[in-house]
Structure 1
């Protein structure tokens, strides 16, 4: 398994198809360095293409999930954009850098396998960008969130402004983004940003682990199909979404997984599916 400097992949149970993907800069509250934006999509791609992986749980090492983009990285990127002799070329370079970082976050949605965010402590700025792209989100009681970018004199550009409205509603997303206020895990639950709030990190690890194991036991074709259709349908009309799922199921529905579910039901046992 590849070695990374900003993240870590862990298979805690060798018999499980649930893999942990950790943001791994705990001394920096898992702030996102420039290296992260190269390593993160590469790690997701390796997990996506690993047939032993069914579900990915994304969390942070240490006390916090993610404190946002590292300020040194932000300053370095800003300095790189300075080109007093040619504003046009400076702007074009800036756009390429932003698109490069956006691609790293969008890799979560591109990954066929479900990605579940498990948040403890701070989830600030870029951390919100990351969890907004995840398929499911959970947190601890001590978790706190902020769409922080306006306080840094920038417009959030890695996905929060595009994804949050569909999760928490347009009005709530606008208020959170313009005020940059900090909100709690319990409010995140009320807003719909997270599905459940756990009393402690061990409780969350156990609870999210059970959810991930449950998903991992299901037909992998059905799981990746459900994610693909939901993500694609978000940007489609109802009729386009129905057409897309019809096309998807016309090629995937008649699988060995479907036969296995029927056989397992008749034999009163749990179904067993081939790896994907």
Structure 2
């Protein structure tokens, strides 16, 4: 595995196809530095292309998941005498930072977020791009950007309404208020809340292992079709999945799943 300044990657146990991807700046409460935005898409691409990886757990090292973007990342743009050139360069930088978060959706393998402690600002951007989200009861969240005189620009305003509803997203984004893990569950931002980090970690590992044991073609297809269908009408979505399954359905995985069912055994699928 590659070495990173801001991340840590390792399998949850030897010979497992589930890998942890840790935000790994615990002394900074995992604030997102410029190095993070360079490294995160590279790490996801590496995991995506690794045939030994079937599922990814995204977590934070230390006491918090993520305290948001490092303020030094926001002030790193150099000014020039030409205002237009400064603005164009700043827009390119924002698009670069956005791409690092969107890499979560572009990763074919499912990404499960296990959230504890703070999940603020850029942390919300990240978890809304994950496929499944769980948290501890002491986790807390905030769409913090307006408190910093910023319009959130890395994906929260685009993804959060589809998860918690437009009204909830508007209220959270305009007030920047802190909300709890239980409220996050009530709104649908997370699926379950756990009493301790040990309980969270154990459950997430078990769910990830269960997903990783299924047909990788079916899992990657399900993620791809769900993400695509968000932007399509019902008829368009049905047409898209019909085309997808026309290409992917008649696979060795289908034969193996059918054989395993009749033989009353667990299926064993080839790597992707």
TM-score (normalizing by structure 1): 0.97
CA RMSD, 1 decimal: 0.7
Structure 2 residue runs of 5 or longer lacking an equivalent are: none
Residues 1:96 and 2:112 aligned together: no
Name the counterpart of 1:183. Answer: 179
Query: Which whole-Å deviations, capped at 9, do the CAs of 1:178-228 have from their partners, x for residues lacking one?
Result: 000000000000000000001100100000011101101111000000000
Give the alignment partner of residue 211 of structure 2, picking from 208, 215, 221: 215
Render the CA deviation track for 1:125-163: whole Å, top value 9, x for unaligned: 000000000000000011000000000000000000000
Residues 1:168 and 2:159 aligned together: no
CA shift, 1:266, in A, is 1.1
Deviation at 1:61, TM superposition (A): 0.1
* Structure 1 residue 34, shift from structure 2 partner: 0.2
Identify which of 197, 202, 207 aligns with 2:198.
Answer: 202
In structure 2, the partner of 1:6 is 6
Match of 2:20 in 1: 20
How far did 1:15 drift?
2.1
The correspondence for 1:236, drawn from 221, 224, 232, is 232
2:75 corresponding residue in structure 1: 75
Matched, 1:129 2:129: no
Distance in 2 (CA, whole Å) between partners of 1:18 and 1:199 is 23
**1:106-145 correspondence runs (5 A):** 106-145=102-141
CA deviations 1:251-276 (Å, max 9, x no partner) are: 00000010011101111111110010
Matched with 1:274 is 270
- From 151, 155, 166, the counterpart of 2:151: 155
Deviations 1:16-45 (A, max 9, x none): 100000000000000000010010000000
Superposed CA deviations along residues 156-181 of structure 1, whole A, max 9, x for unmatched, are 00000000000000000000000000
Alignment partners' CA distance in 1, 2:25 and 2:215: 35
Aligned mates of 2:248, 2:133 — CA distance in 1: 28
2:220 to 201, 224, 232: 224
Q: 1:72: Cα distance to partner?
A: 2.1
In the alignment, the residues of structure 2 paired with residue 37 and residue 73 of structure 1 have an alpha-carbon distance, to the nearest angstrom, of 9
Tell me, what secondary structure is at the counterpart of 1:76? coil
Give the TM-score normalised by the residue count of structure 2: 0.99
How many residue pairs get matched? 272
Which deviates more, 260-269 or 107-116?
260-269
Q: What displacement does 1:86 show?
A: 1.5
After TM superposition, give the deviation of residue 75 of structure 1 in Å.
2.3
- 1:105 aligns with 101
